[in-house]
Structure 1
Amino acid sequence: MPDRIVLEQFIALVESNKHDEAIERFYADEATMQENLLPLRRGKSALVERERAVMARLARMHSRCVRPVFVSDDRVVIRWIFEFVGKDGTSFYRDELAYQRWDGDKIVEERFYYDPGQAKPAGDEPLS
């Protein structure tokens, strides 16, 4: 089970939009990620590289944890709301659940659940 302080540090880093740093700091070397039912991505270095590639395509993003965060033994569920703004000015929102398995203070498995249909241009509704 992750230490509560460590979990809050992880959330704070993601909310500061430093997703790549969060992976570097809080994921195990052999960590896996999965988007819905897509193939697994393996290894911290590959996860960081992909995150940086995604971030490079954006003009900005806004990340927010929607509480409560659910913790049971080594499992954590976090609801995130993201606003992504591309360099072309188009934006979209993603409301997702991250289901994680921690080994001590490191994430070893993470799967994201979200509706892919959310990846359409956003309206004028505020994120917060």
Structure 2
Amino acid sequence: MPTRARLDEFIAAVVSGDHDGAIERYYTEDASMQENAAPPRVGRDVLVAHERAALARAKSVTSICVASVVEGDRVAINWVFEFVYHSGKTGRFDEVALQEWRGDRIFRERFFYEPAKPKADS
């Protein structure tokens, strides 16, 4: 079960922009991530590669933790991610992540969000 301090470390890593590093350090080797109703991706190496590919599509990503709750081995985080793509278009995702931790690492995570279409900058 994660301590509040361990969760805060994870959140700080994501907020700092170290998304792929956070996966490497805070997820189990056999971890899975699932986006909405899509099939889960399984394996930390797969998760890191997917994150790096997503980050490569963006010029910048701003990550904000709106709220987080620890309840035993379960964690809920409300994230807001703001993307600026290389084209100049932007995207914003308001997401809830539900996590199951095994000890001090994330074992299973599912994201719930309404995909937003990129919009041209004003």
Pairing of 1:67-106 with structure 2 (within 5 A): 67=67, 69-106=68-105
Tell me if 1:120 matches 2:118.
yes
Counterpart of 1:120, as a letter, is: P
- 2:20 aligns to what SS in structure 1? helix
Give the C-alpha shift of residue 114 in structure 1. 0.3
Number of corresponding residues:
122
Pairing of 1:1-128 with structure 2 (within 5 A): 1-67=1-67, 69-116=68-115, 118-121=116-119
How far apart are the structure 2 equivalents of 1:96 and 1:32?
17
- Can you give the 5+ residue segments of structure 2 that lack an aligned partner in the other structure? none
Counterpart of 2:89, as a letter, is: T
Q: TM-score, normalised by structure 1?
A: 0.91
- Can you give the 5+ residue segments of structure 1 that lack an aligned partner in the other structure? none
Asked if the contact 1:61–1:83 (Cα under 8 Å) also holds between the matched residues in 2, the reply is yes
Counterpart of 2:56, as a letter, is: A
Could you say what the CA RMSD is over the residues aligned between the two structures, in angstroms?
1.2
How far apart are the structure 1 equivalents of 2:51 and 2:86?
16
Asked if the contact 1:84–1:91 (Cα under 8 Å) also holds between the matched residues in 2, the reply is yes
What fraction of aligned residue pairs are identical, expressed as a percent?
48
Q: TM-score, normalised by structure 2?
A: 0.95
- 2:63 aligns to what SS in structure 1? strand
How far apart are the structure 2 equivalents of 1:119 and 1:24?
29
Give the C-alpha shift of residue 120 in structure 1. 3.2
Asked if the contact 2:27–2:105 (Cα under 8 Å) also holds between the matched residues in 1, the reply is yes
Q: After TM superposition, where is structure 1 displaced by more than 4 Å over at least 4 residues in a row?
A: none
